[in-house]
Amino acid sequence: MSEYIQHDKTGNSVGLVEKQFFRFAEPPHEMCLENGARLGPLTLAYETYGTLNREKSNTVLVCHALSGDSHVAGYYREEDPKPGWWDIMVGPGKGIDTDRYFVICSNILGSCMGSTGPCSIDPATNSPYGLSFPLVTIGDMVKAQKALLDHLGVEKVLAVVGGSIGGMQVLEWCMRYPERVVSAIPLATTTRHSALAIAFNEVARQAIMADPNWNGGNYYEGPRPDTGLAVARMIGHITYLSDEAMRHKFGRRLQGKDYFSFNFDADFQVESYLRHQGIKFVERFDANAFLYITKAADYYDLSNLHGAGSAVEAFSKAQARFLVVSFTSDWLYPTYQSRAMVQAMKKSGLDVSFCEIEAEWGHDAFLLPSERLSALIRGFLERVGRESTGESHAL
């Protein structure tokens, strides 16, 4: 996921918001992780917008992608230059309308934006975990989110929505807590990484680990592996765009010059763009967190985890109504992967809608302003809201 944060042209915003923290899994009640380890105490950074209604039936849980955070919409301070990362989708009157829905987003476990991750202090040693942090999985992230929802008094969510690695969390919610999810919107995602996706992640991880400053993950006292992390981010950005998007955005244009420099400076705009994205990223992200989260995404395999190798079997555990959306130019999680997911959902008798949106911006398209995507999500949420109210009245 890249930094496409844009201001909403209509000027609609949830306004000023506050990051909150939920601390739980205090020893001896640590959280049991998928790999068998126990981890605690844990902190989740989260934000909420809108109001939980009396029936507690209007919660929309947003799951963020690799480098995202809990700051989905609005501003922390008046003078913030940018709003949250999905401000175009979440706000009053928007696709996810904060006048109607109670929106929750928490920073994922293993990340570095306020939730417990490898850069957090290990209470046992009083220094950052580094590589002694256990390998958390997508399932663990979801388990932690569930603890937060329990804490907030939300029994059932109207919808879980997210793109990319956020989409994997959406799917995992439907597997682990089927009775708590009324509907689910996995966007630009997959039930498991292709070899191509794993390959890109591996090259990005190698870039970090090859940086001498990385020092086996133990760098919090000294210089950080900025070069490695920046290169990892550059690789990521290539996968978020597409051939077509890059052709339009950069072509072979040169950056601030008419002739090649005949050295190894950034000549082409695309070089300069990637370098810029890399540098910007190291200011806000932790290299170890990048390693942990990409590995969690690579490990995720819905069919193996929940269906003994069969996606149909896995989805037969789900109860949610689904809206699956893919984007034509996404080559990281291409449409065929969404189609395979939809096929398995149909075979297991689930209610599923699917739309492939024509978009030239590659994987990142789900973060960009799209009237179509907003309208799809708005319409779908209205419908599932209506149907779930109808059902609860019928009972």
Cα separations in angstroms, 271 against 235, 247, 331 = 12, 13, 20
Which among 267, 316, 363, 388 is annotated as catalytic? 363
The verdict on 3 binding other proteins (CB under 8 A) reads no
Residue 91 β-bridge partners? 97
Q: Which is nearer to other proteins, 124 or 394 (CB)?
A: 394
Task: Please say which residue, 17 or 341, places its beta carbon nearer to other proteins.
Answer: 341
Q: What is the nearest approach in angstroms of other proteins to the Cβ of residue 387?
A: 9
CB of 123 to other proteins, least distance (A): 48
> By C-beta, is 260 or 336 nearer to other proteins?
336
Q: Report yes or no: 99 and 127 within 8 Å, Cβ to Cβ.
A: no
Hey, what amino acid is at 176?
R
Interface map 9-38 toward other proteins (x if CB under 8 A): ------------------------------
Q: Quote the least distance from Cβ 304 to other proteins, whole Å.
A: 21
Known catalytic membership, residue 330: yes
Q: What's the min distance (Å) between Cβ of 130 and other proteins?
A: 46
Residues of span 264-323 touching other proteins by CB under 8 A? 321, 323
Q: In a 10 Å sphere around its CB, with 0-12 CB exposed, 13-18 middle and 19+ buried, how is residue 325 labelled?
A: buried
With tokens 């994205």, the residue in question is 277
CB 314 within 8 A of CB 279: no
Name the burial class of residue 137, with classes exposed (0-12), middle (13-18) and buried (19+) by CB atoms within 10 angstroms of its CB.
buried
Among 379, 392, 394, 395, binds other proteins (CB under 8 A): 379
Judge whether 164 counts as a catalytic residue: yes
Across the chain, the runs of DSSP E, i.e. the strands, are 20-24, 31-32, 38-39, 42-49, 59-63, 90-91, 96-97, 102-106, 121-122, 127-128, 159-163, 183-187, 321-327, 352-357
Give the Cα separation of 146 and 196 in Å (integer): 31
The stretch among 108-116, 153-161, 298-306, 380-388 that binds other proteins (CB under 8 A) is: 380-388
Segment 319-378, which members bind other proteins (CB under 8 A)? Answer: 321, 323, 339, 342-343, 346-347, 349, 351-358, 372, 375-376, 378
Nearer to other proteins, 148 or 324 (CB): 324
Active-site annotation holder among 67, 164, 183, 370? 164
The one catalytic residue among 140, 226, 330, 364: 330
Site size with other proteins, rule: CB under 8 A: 25
Query: Does 99 qualify as catalytic in the annotation?
Result: no
Q: Which is nearer to other proteins, 284 or 386 (CB)?
A: 386
Closer residue to other proteins (CB): 235 or 352:
352
The tally of CA atoms less than 13 A away on the side-chain side of residue 273 is: 18
Residues in CB range of 322: below 8 A, 6 or more apart: 174, 183, 184, 185, 186, 342, 345, 350, 351, 352, 353
Q: Residue 311 CB, nearest distance to other proteins (Å)?
A: 12
In the structure encoding, which two tokens stand for residue 103, read together?
A: 């929106």
- Answer for the pair 359, 328: CB distance below 8 angstroms, yes or no: yes
User: Do residues 287 and 294 lie in contact, with contact meaning Cβ atoms separated by under 8 Å?
Assistant: no
Judged by the rule CB under 8 A, the positions of this chain that interact with other proteins are 321, 323, 339, 342-343, 346-347, 349, 351-358, 372, 375-376, 378-380, 382-383, 386
Catalytically annotated residues: 164, 330, 363
